[in-house]
Structure 1
């Protein structure tokens, strides 16, 4: 890595995170639509129906950005992360339709978390891996929040990358990564089936199992219980707040993936400090 001031590295990471956050918005919005189109076509193939003549939704990489309302292609000045939304006051330049607050929030979140990763790990290959980890979790959380889906197209690469990095090792050694992946999947899988047997309802989706397995591959089995507890705490706080504010009905399902993703990121960055603090608080050494 070039010899640059540490503060400059953090700034570069933040700017890079803003740019990547703009792309993550595209992934969050377009990947579920592409998946749904693929499922419809697969269903038509199974039923031996004619191919659907409806054009496929925009791709993630090739098709340029456009306004969801008027479909006008956006200029480069309309795509400056965070600043374009502020300059345009949250409205399309061409049709004046409101632009979702999701765009600047995802960009800002990506920028801030990316800066924190480099602050934590320094300008190292570990930080680069941490950035990929962070960006993937943001995309997964955003998709699950919008659609209650955790795509295999993201959870599986995250899982396999964690296992491959354990061969170096980078975060944990290979045995811990393998055990963590298996334990992460089986723990939520067991809870899912126990809950279904007792209530006849599905408490979570299979994507949650795969996401926790990926986190186990990155951070080992020791991280799983804290991640589950943290995600449950975050989910209870967020869910309780939404219900108290009457923005969410009790009977409506709430995606658990964003809370798992948030807890996993917190543990990657601050797990050692949280564990030490807990041990000091409880008197354990």
Structure 2
């Protein structure tokens, strides 16, 4: 009813909700790599603990504890200072306690999440397909920034994404289940084959295993037919962004470039415009 009679209100409320999701994604992007590193260190210490001396216990650190605080002065962020987008603008991008600059990436992630979510809602009516498309959008956004920061695509995000894609396609929400299963297998094997071919020829690793899993997840959501388009788009996006970063001198040429963000961006484009782009490309060839 809200969607059909009050479309403007529907998109407005979705945008507001997506700003909140974007705020949570900022926490996920920052904390998940730290949580994983602490978990790996704890496992190492547990395994190599000598005698009966138990490893030292640390304070809880997860997506909810401790409360968000300024990394420079330790000032705990209040509720009024944690309103998506508005708080950063009101504070003029600075901590209210020590006046240290707050990264503009926080409101950027929130804004990107809202804009991408509203865009998805224009193409998918309310239902399971829309819920799935929004979930895919949010996770791809988180993976993009985590990989840019840490050269890491966590299994904690890529593997559930793969299984949820297969689960949704049990009822053909995006593609038939057979296409989704083949897409998951082919997505993994394509990059796995490229990885080993490159390593055998050069002795170097050209990408990480997380890239295999991400493309497998995209294949599970969008089917094997989408894989060529995703690979072509990711290469184009990677070339454009890579050249832009080098020109802007924000990336050292010797530093590894993550491939996951380009896969994520290409997968999101394929989610919305994959069929049109494929038909346009085939039309050029005919």
Instruction: Please report the TM-score for the alignment, with normalisation by the length of structure 2.
Output: 0.94
- Counterpart in the other structure of 1:114: 117
- Counterpart in the other structure of 2:100: 97
Paired residues in the alignment total 283
Partner Cα separation in structure 2 for residue 72 and residue 232 of structure 1: 42
- Counterpart in the other structure of 1:221: 224
- Counterpart in the other structure of 1:166: 169
1:118-174 CA distances to partner (integer Å, 9 max, x unpaired)? Answer: 111122321111111101111111111111110111001100000101111100111
- Counterpart in the other structure of 2:38: 37
Partner Cα separation in structure 1 for residue 149 and residue 60 of structure 2: 17
- Counterpart in the other structure of 2:264: 261
Q: Which moved more, 1:6-15 or 1:143-152?
A: 6-15
**Cα distance change on mapping 1:83 and 1:52 into 2, 3 Å:** farther
Aligned positions of 1:265-280 closer than 5 A: 265-280=268-283
**Contact preservation (8 Å) 2:2, 2:10:** no
Q: Shift of the alpha carbon at 1:76?
A: 1.1
1:45-65 CA distances to partner (integer Å, 9 max, x unpaired)? Answer: 222345553635631024322
**1:16 counterpart = 2:17:** yes
**Contact preservation (8 Å) 2:188, 2:213:** yes
**Cα distance change on mapping 1:13 and 1:247 into 2, 3 Å:** same
**Cα distance change on mapping 1:57 and 1:260 into 2, 3 Å:** farther
- Counterpart in the other structure of 2:67: 64
Partner Cα separation in structure 1 for residue 137 and residue 223 of structure 2: 17
How large is the Cα RMSD of the aligned pairs? Answer: 1.6
Match 1:184 to one of 160, 182, 187:
187
Secondary structure in 1 matching 2:119? helix
**Contact preservation (8 Å) 1:85, 1:91:** yes
Q: Which moved more, 1:243-252 or 1:177-186?
A: 243-252
**Contact preservation (8 Å) 1:30, 1:57:** no
Partner Cα separation in structure 2 for residue 51 and residue 198 of structure 1: 46
**Contact preservation (8 Å) 1:188, 1:208:** yes
Q: Which moved more, 1:241-250 or 1:91-100?
A: 241-250
Match 1:236 to one of 236, 239, 244:
239
Partner Cα separation in structure 2 for residue 177 and residue 74 of structure 1: 43
**Contact preservation (8 Å) 2:2, 2:9:** no
Q: Shift of the alpha carbon at 1:182?
A: 0.4
Q: Shift of the alpha carbon at 1:108?
A: 0.5
Secondary structure in 2 matching 1:166? helix
Q: Which moved more, 1:55-64 or 1:259-268?
A: 55-64
Partner Cα separation in structure 1 for residue 140 and residue 214 of structure 2: 9
Q: Shift of the alpha carbon at 1:232?
A: 0.9
**Contact preservation (8 Å) 2:49, 2:55:** no
Partner Cα separation in structure 2 for residue 42 and residue 248 of structure 1: 33
Q: Shift of the alpha carbon at 1:245?
A: 2.7
- Structure 1's unaligned 5+ residue stretches are none
Instruction: Please report the TM-score for the alignment, with normalisation by the length of structure 1.
Output: 0.95
- Counterpart in the other structure of 1:7: 8
